[in-house]
Structure 1
């Protein structure tokens, strides 16, 4: 499912009011580890359908997470993620929308 998302710049709007963030999406997998960007983590696909994907991941020495992504369209998804980053717990929901080409 993640491979069907449109590549480009995506805007993340967090439901808890955290600042909006932009990321460059190339494969769609960038949405899985939002609290562990660029880390070498082991990923296990728990569920993957045409409209929904859930991935559990572990980052040795830096925590773990469980991320569920629901595709509304190829340019709009809903994300829920929770886990531990370093020594801090995280739990968030966000909407991600394609806003243009990567800069």
Structure 2
């Protein structure tokens, strides 16, 4: 029994090394990896006649957090496959959101996002289309 007690720290250390070496949470979701960077036009499908929004996307994960842009909000992936990803994020004090990005082509995606922003609920469905390079 004494030998097991002595081995415990070594086993825990080995397990930690394996976990740190394993790719995982730091990797971008597969559905986003094929999306191109650049200027993306977001057309709100629920509000016709509204001027489209344009955003610079240097990292496709930016599309998961359209409403709370510019904030570093902890995020967790709820589900994903090769074409879509759903993530939930919490921006302490400013609200939260849950977003599904469905990639149709490297330059076209659908974004369904909802949550609370500064105390008010929101729900938007966007057609997102890459239109050019960021300046």
Query: What TM-score range do you get, normalising by the shorter chain?
Result: over 0.9
Gaps of 5+ in 2: 1-30
Among 2, 5, 11, the residue aligned to 2:41: 11
- Segments ≥4 residues shifted beyond 2 Å: none
TM-score (norm 1): 0.95
1:1-103 matched pairs, under 5 angstroms? 1-15=31-45, 16-17=47-48, 18-103=50-135
Task: Using the TM superposition, give the Cα deviation of residue 33 of structure 1 relative to its aligned residue in structure 2, in angstroms.
Answer: 1.2
More strand by share: 1
CA contact (8 A) 1:3 1:27 kept: no
TM-score (norm 2): 0.73
**Greater CA radius of gyration, 1 or 2?**
2
* Larger RCO (alpha carbons 8 Å, 6+ apart): 1
CA contact (8 A) 1:81 1:91 kept: yes
C-alpha RMSD over aligned residues: 0.9
CA contact (8 A) 1:71 1:78 kept: yes
